[in-house]
């Protein structure tokens, strides 16, 4: 019998490079558990972003391709169309997906590409220097909004899950949080569901994960979790925004 907390076979034992308190490691594990559950590691291709998860190929046992900044949906589309027998997922941050890659994610979703997208939303550019992202909350200080995000000049934070759920091509769109065990279990269920939708050829599936960024938020790990709960979740509500019935 496997131990409950045993490392998934789809992820190796390399020490991850993520900052203390960052929840990318949790997100990686959930994806790996899904690959193990469906027995698809050997037929899966992941697409890495330019961002904090740029080195994810060091950790997963499946094939991983690196895409230019913001282009993972386009790369994933090419892989899936050329090899429809493969399971394809992209793993992206909010700067990569919601800013530089906004056109790619919207059109891939609208076309109903049969891929799975894991979107890690921590409301800030991570690796590139802590700049304001499209998801940065009003009043949030970043390196490019030192006085806080201003509604009059910067507009509102984008709610990606709600926007993509309006498109006909999406099959499953949900938002989860990586802040406490109960929500992590819900996130795990969502990731499993997203890959299941792809396996059943249902079209585009999207899991948005609210995450922490203690380094660029200037907080301790525990303070970052509190901020996620008190500030992010109220603006980015959790839940399933779209789920097509399996036919």
Note whether 220 and 202 are within 8 A (CB): no
Spell out the domain ranges in the chain: 24-243
Q: Is 15 exposed, middle or buried (0-12, 13-18, 19+ CB in 10 A)?
A: exposed
Q: Is 12 helix (H, G, I), strand (E, B) or coil?
A: coil
**What integer pLDDT is reported at residue 6 of this predicted model?**
85
Write out the two tokens for 129: 């220097």
**Biggest CA pair distance of the chain:** 58
Question: Whole-model pTM above 0.85?
Answer: yes
Write out the two tokens for 69: 């900044």
Give the residues of the chain that fall short of pLDDT 70. Answer: 1-5, 247
What's the DSSP call for residue 60? B
**What integer pLDDT is reported at residue 146 of this predicted model?**
96
Note whether 243 and 172 are within 8 A (CB): yes
CA-based nearest residue to 174, from 211, 209, 133: 209
CA-based nearest residue to 49, from 64, 70, 32: 70
**What integer pLDDT is reported at residue 3 of this predicted model?**
53
Q: What top-level class would CATH report for the domain 24-243?
A: alpha beta
């Amino acid at each position: 019998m496997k131990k409950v907390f045993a490392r998934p076979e789809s992820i190796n034992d390399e020490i991850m490079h993520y900052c203390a308190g960052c929840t990318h490691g949790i997100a990686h594990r959930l994806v790996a558990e899904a690959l193990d559950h469906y027995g698809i590691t050997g037929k899966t291709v992941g697409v890495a972003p330019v961002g904090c998860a740029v080195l994810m190929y060091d950790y997963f046992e499946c094939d991983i391709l690196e895409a230019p900044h913001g282009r993972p949906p386009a790369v994933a589309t090419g892989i899936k169309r050329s090899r429809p027998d493969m399971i394809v997922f992209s793993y992206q941050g909010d700067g990569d997906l919601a800013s530089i890659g906004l056109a790619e994610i919207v059109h891939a979703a609208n076309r109903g590409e049969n891929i799975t997208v894991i979107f890690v939303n921590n409301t800030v550019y991570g690796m590139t220097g802590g700049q304001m992202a499209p998801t940065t909350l009003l009043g949030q200080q970043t390196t490019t909004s030192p006085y806080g995000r201003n509604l009059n000049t910067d507009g509102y934070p984008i709610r990606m899950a709600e926007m993509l759920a309006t498109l006909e091509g999406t099959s499953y769109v949900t938002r989860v949080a990586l802040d406490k065990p109960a929500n992590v279990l819900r996130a795990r269920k969502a990731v499993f569901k997203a890959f299941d939708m792809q396996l059943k050829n249902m079209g585009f599936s999207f899991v948005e994960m609210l995450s922490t960024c203690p380094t660029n938020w200037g907080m301790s790990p525990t303070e970052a979790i509190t901020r996620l709960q008190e500030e992010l979740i109220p603006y980015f509500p959790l839940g399933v925004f779209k789920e097509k019935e399996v036919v």
